[in-house]
Amino acid sequence: MDFEDVIGQENIRERLLQMVSEDRVPHALMLCGPTGCGKKALAIALGCELIKHSTSRPAAEASMFGMFDDAPASDELVPDANNMAMLAKLEHPDLHFTYPTIKTPSMGSEHQPISADFAREWNDLLMANGPYFSFNQWMEAIGAANQQAIITGGESDELSRKLSLKSSQGGYKVSIIWLPERMNATSANKLLKLLEEPPRRTVFIMVSEAPDQLLETIRSRTQRIDVKPISAEAIEQALISRRGIDADNAHRIARVANGSWNTALEALNADNENQLFLDLFMQFMRLAYQRKVKELKVWSDSVSSFGREKQRRMLTYFLSQVRENFIYNFHNPELNYQTKDEEDFSRNFARFINEANVIEISEQLELAMRQIAQNANPRVVFFDLALQIIVLLIKK
């Protein structure tokens, strides 16, 4: 993978490439930004570029080793063909990935899950989707249900062991840590020691969506780069050029995507999760408005069967739709970011989300999210939420 695969983010791409060309890449970088903005894509592109650049040979030397039939006799650097082949598959021995994992039933009681336990699933997801996949997709790929995925102390030990070895190709060793905020305390402290005494010719690239949840001592030892949401124009052009979407649909999807290429891709899939969440939101609000308590109990039991991560995603989606329905009342289409199906529902429902109840409804959804995160009984949480919404929808 290289920087050409990154959607938009031209300024950061140029900045990172300049760091590599001038050989002034810090030993620890942290790319921060919202889901889908391309942080992971930038990190992987940078990691590949570092390895490629540090293992390239002068063209004349490469010709001597048979890398090119007619290589020019010059000092121009050319990448090693073997390295390029391994990087294309993202299976280079000097490119290390760390990511949140879960404990499966087949693991022994003493075993701490490490990234290597899920290397096949990770690589399959990268090869199938590229670097633009979400934490939710990763959880599905590893078969997580109610488990909270974390980065364990065992993973930090394994990473330390790998990075202590000499580079296989004589260039940089690159450690890409996706979602470091999911490290447990043991893992975070062990990583801190690695950052304080980094192995020679090693670069750490962290990809974070919640950097404030990291230890201050870790944050202080990294150079932070904030990655903004992708511009709507860049998403629109990528949808047209890479996905063959017509200009009108590309424009609408780009606005709804709100700076996330992940969201744009999900919008292309008629069976995407947000469609399910929209159906559940419409059903929930209609039943609450009609005060159908018995049916709401059935609805609550149904969504309680979802895994906790999926329940949190659903509530996050509900929150976004409450905001969109409230804004819809201002009759300014430029302020709304909805699909056609969402807009069709808002046309009749939006008037029930108003100044009198929008804050309290949002607070109830946020409370439910916190309770789910704290492992509260989901049947109780969702039925109580339903009863609260019944009361709040009649406020005017």
**pLDDT exceeds cutoff 50 at 68:** no
Kindly report the three-state secondary structure assignment for every residue of 218-255: HHCCCEEEECCCCCHHHHHHHHHHHHCCCHHHHHHHHH
Alpha-carbon distance values, 237 to 132, 133, 224, 265, 272 (Å): 17, 19, 28, 13, 22
SS3 of 204, please?
A: strand
Q: Is the pLDDT of residue 134 over 70?
A: yes
Cα separation of 86 and 41, whole Å?
17
- What is the band of 71 on the pLDDT scale with cuts at 50, 70, 90? low
**Mean per-residue pLDDT for 318-334?**
91
Give how far the C-alpha of residue 211 lies from the chain's centroid of Cα atoms, to the nearest Å. 13
Phi, psi of 384 (to 5 degrees): -65, -40
Q: Report the b/e string of 36-61 with b at 16+ CB within 10 A.
A: bbbbbbbbbbbbbbbbbbbbbbbbee
* pLDDT beyond 70 at 59: no
- The average pLDDT across 54-79 equals 58
Q: Which pLDDT does position 337 carry in this prediction?
A: 76
CA 60 to chain centre: 42
Those residues whose C-beta lies under 8 Å from the C-beta of residue 290, and which sit 6 or more positions away, are none
Q: Which of 308, 276, 264 is nearest to 130 (CA)?
A: 264
pLDDT-derived band at 249, boundaries 50, 70, 90: confident
* pLDDT tens string 287-307: 999 999 999 999 999 999 998
- Count CA atoms closer than 13 A to 173's CA, side-chain side: 17
- Mean pLDDT check: name the lowest of 210-219, 245-254, 277-286, 313-322: 245-254
Give the tens place of pLDDT for each residue, 334-376: 787 787 888 899 999 999 999 999 999 999 999 999 999 999 9
For residues 88-99, give the mean pLDDT: 93
Of residues 183 and 67, more confidence is placed in 183
Name the DSSP class of 114: -
Two structure tokens written together for 175: 């450690």
| pLDDT band per the 50, 70, 90 thresholds, residue 391 | very high
| Mean of pLDDT over the chain | 90
- pLDDT given at position 319: 96
User: Rounded mean pLDDT of 67-77?
Assistant: 54
pLDDT at 76: 64
**pLDDT recorded at residue 315:** 96
The pLDDT of residue 31 is above 80: yes
pLDDT the model gives residue 217:
95
What mean pLDDT do residues 198-212 have? 94
Average pLDDT over residues 131-145: 89
12 φψ region: left (φ > 0), alpha (ψ -120 to 50), beta (else): alpha
> Among residues of the chain, what percentage have pLDDT more than 70?
93
- pLDDT score, position 299: 96
pLDDT of residue 74: 54
Asked if 255 contacts 232 with a C-beta cutoff of 8 angstroms, the reply is yes
What local confidence, expressed as pLDDT, does residue 17 receive?
A: 95
> If you average pLDDT over residues 374-391, what whole number do you get?
95
d(CA 321, CA 277): 10
- pLDDT confidence of residue 211: 95
Q: Is 70 exposed, middle or buried (0-12, 13-18, 19+ CB in 10 A)?
A: exposed
